[in-house]
Amino acid sequence: MSHTKPKVRTRFAPSPTGYLHVGGARTALFNYLYARAMKGTFIVRIEDTDVERSTEESYNQMLESLAWLGLDWDEGPGVGGPHESYRQSERIEIYREHAAKLVAEKKAYYCFCTAEELEIKKKKREGMGLPPVYDGKCRSLSDEEVKVKLDQKTGHTIRFKTLDKEIIVRDIVQGDVKFDTAIIGDFIIIKSNDYPSYNFAVVIDDHLMEINHVIRGVGHLSNTPRQILIYHAFDWNEPAWAHVSEIVGSDHKKLSKRHGATSITAFRDMGYPREAFINYMSLLGWSPPGGKEFMSEADITGQFDIARCSKSPAMFDVFDLSKAGEVELNLLSAKELENYLFAKSKLNWLSNQHIRALTEEEYLERIFPFVSDCNCIPENELKKDNENLKSILLSLRVYLDYLQQIRHYICDFYADIEPTHEANEWLTRENGSKIVKSLFENLNSIHDFSAENIQKAFSTVSAETSIKGKELFMTIRSAATGKVHGLELPVYLSLLGKKRVIHRLEKLI
RNA sequence: GUCCCCUUCGUCUAGUGGUUAGGACUCGGGAUUUUCAUUCCCGCAACAGGGGUUCAAUUCCCCUAGGGGACGCCA
């Protein structure tokens, strides 16, 4: 008889209290990657038990960001699954039932202490240098006393009865970590508003949803003993734990809003391919055994192993905070954000590689929205099936780190040009106008404005003017494009088209 | 304050009780490209500090510093 290993089930469980940021996205990614690598199931569950802070807007944006990253969940909001609902706010009864069971078994108890009372006690203990744990006052209430208070509708919480013992968290990335329950105390599992606390709801849901691998930020490590206590109280099996390092900003502090634009949508809006962003995030705290860092999603899932994750925090430093100063980066548009980006970040390098790895169709499809955003292209030319536009976009892609950058290049093909200072220097040289005149004549006589024919015309110009080499070509480049850098010249001119080139030259004569 | 965790080039990281401490991005130089980009080659650059243990420590132990987290009716 062969026993089959249970399928790996992982989950990402965000609370909808803000946008999905890089830290959360990386956690989601690792859960997703591990599930895919192990041919398991990836679940998304929404932890919205904080009624004050949870918003519908955040809920929607969270799912939208996950969907953009392509972290398709097998069970969760929108797709359903065998353990619905996947929103904690719709599972409240489940938590209450489970809490009642613990109370009945004397593993938890009603607590009638008020928030004010607790606050005073906490201060006092702190003053004495003791850990501010609950003193267990209501633990000893008799059933009768409890019944009376309950009948009087006295406000209450339910606390877990924490027994003295040492808890060891056996963690795949952190190793064995010991905790003493003395500093935990009797913690609340049901809040006075009758909603479950995080530590309680998480355990109930993870168990019921058959999650067997909990992958999350190391910030949760010290919550884990509480959760283990609850697993034990119900006599449930613990999942495997994996607490991965947090992501920090360039100031070495945990990523937060002040680090700016850590929202996933900001990167989407700038035109980073989702493949690139995933590739980059996968490298934050994990490294492929082979060492090759430019990877497709399939490359990554083929190699991903949670056991190879690092304990030390990774820095997410694509933004130059010193340049930003007091600017609130999160409020900037995608275009403005560009000014604060480190142009030569690894993210940009990866992104450039991914853009170039896209199929032509895929690339054109994705870049078009960014192109139509540039106002320089005449409406009659701004068509998805415009072959000339397509060729231009294709030739430009090697320059792009993210799709939005197209606006820095595309207008050179359409707008009227103003020669740069350097270009003017070539044009105003002794032979400048001679070259431009000859060029004009020779290009004007071409019928098929192909790169080959343009190249031939260059030869004729060279023969006519007795000028060759750098002077010839830089002058031509300056005249036709107004710049001293750019694409290969014959190709460039053929993409520009005869009409525009001739028009530009005419203005210089 | 108490407890827990972390620290390898600027950044992401590999790795080991004996290695010229490896790779990638960035940066510098060179080749190719009559330009830029691409591509290729070469180079700069790190084991936080101090004590142990050991024939030998970046690796194991302790301390210090720095960073993070928990001690919530937040998740």
Mean pLDDT rounded to a whole number for chain A: 91
Look up the protein residue whose alpha carbon has the minimum distance to the C1' of B74.
A50
Query: According to the model, what pLDDT value does residue A260 have?
Result: 65
pLDDT of A1 above 50 = no
Q: Which region, left, alpha or beta, applies to residue A168 given φ > 0 means left and ψ of -120 to 50 means alpha? A: beta
Kindly state the DSSP code that residue A175 receives in the 8-state scheme. E
How many alpha carbons lie under 13 Å from residue A108 in its C-beta half-sphere?
A: 26
Backbone angles phi, psi at A178, to 5 degrees: -95, 145
Dist CA A76 CA A233 (whole Å)? 27
Average pLDDT of the segment spanning A277-284: 95
Q: What confidence tier does A41 reach under pLDDT thresholds 50, 70, 90? A: very high
Beta strands in A57-180 (DSSP E): 108-111, 157-160, 166-171, 175-180
Tell me the CA distances in angstroms from A171 to A63, A168, A306, A435, one per residue in order. 29, 9, 11, 73
Strands (E), A99-254: 108-111, 157-160, 166-171, 175-180, 188-190, 213-217, 240-244, 247-248
Find all residues with CB under 8 Å of A309, minimum gap 6, and list them.
A30, A173, A242, A244, A245, A285, A286
**Using one digit for the tens of pLDDT, what is the confidence trace for A79-129?**
999 999 999 999 999 999 999 999 999 999 999 998 888 888 888 877 776
Q: What is the pLDDT of residues A394-413, one digit of tens each?
A: 999 999 999 999 999 999 99
Nucleotide lying nearest to A280, CA to C1' measure: B12
How far lies A72's CA from each of A68, A162, A206, in Å? 9, 38, 19
Question: What average pLDDT does the segment A443-471 reach?
Answer: 90
How much is the average pLDDT of A127-145? 83
Distance CA A220, CA A213 (A): 14
pLDDT reported for residue A3: 60
What mean pLDDT is predicted for residues A17-30?
92
How much is the average pLDDT of A341-369?
Answer: 95
Q: What is the pLDDT of residue A249?
A: 83
* Chain A 148..177 CB hits on strand B (< 7 A): 155, 157, 174-175, 177
Strand B bases within 7 angstroms of protein beta carbons: 1-8, 11-15, 22-27, 33-39, 66-75
Cβ proximity of A8 and A212 under 8 Å: yes
Measure, in angstroms, how far nucleotide B48 C1' is from residue A313 CA: 15
CB atoms within 10 A of CB A188: 20
Whether the CB of A337 is less than 7 Å away from nucleic strand B comes out as: no
Q: Distance between CA atoms of A112 and A137, rounded to whole angstroms?
A: 9
First-to-final CA distance of chain A? 90
Weakest-pLDDT range from A119-123, A177-181, A205-209, A242-246: A119-123
A118 CB below 7 A from strand B atoms: yes
Element (H, E) at A9: strand A9-12
Residue A196 confidence (pLDDT): 94
Ranked by mean pLDDT, the top range of A27-36, A376-385, A439-448 is A27-36
A96 near A190, Cβ under 8 Å?
yes
> Residue for token digits 């009642």?
A100
Quick check: A180 CB within 7 A of strand B? yes
If pLDDT is split at 50, 70 and 90, which confidence band does A51 have? confident
**Nearest nt to the A15 alpha carbon by C1':** B75
Q: Return the pLDDT at A61.
A: 94
How many whole angstroms separate alpha carbon A276 and alpha carbon A355? 8
Q: What are the distances in angstroms from CA A77 to CA A91, A155, A419?
A: 13, 33, 55
Q: Is the pLDDT of residue A30 over 80?
A: yes
- pLDDT for A212 equals 94
Percent of chain A with pLDDT over 70: 98
Q: What are the backbone dihedrals phi and psi of residue A176, each rounded to the nearest 5 degrees, phi first? A: -85, 125
Q: For B37, which residue's CA is nearest its C1'? A: A399
| pLDDT tens-digit readout, A211-258 | 999 999 998 998 999 999 999 999 999 999 999 998 988 777 778 776
CB A413 within 8 A of CB A495: yes
Residue A402 CB coordination number (10 Å): 25
The predicted model scores a pTM of: 0.93
Could you tell me how far CA A375 lies from the centroid of its own chain? 29
Instruction: Decide: helix, strand or coil at residue A76.
Output: strand
> What's the complex ipTM?
0.92
Averaged pLDDT, A260-276: 90
Partners of A179 in the beta sheet? A167
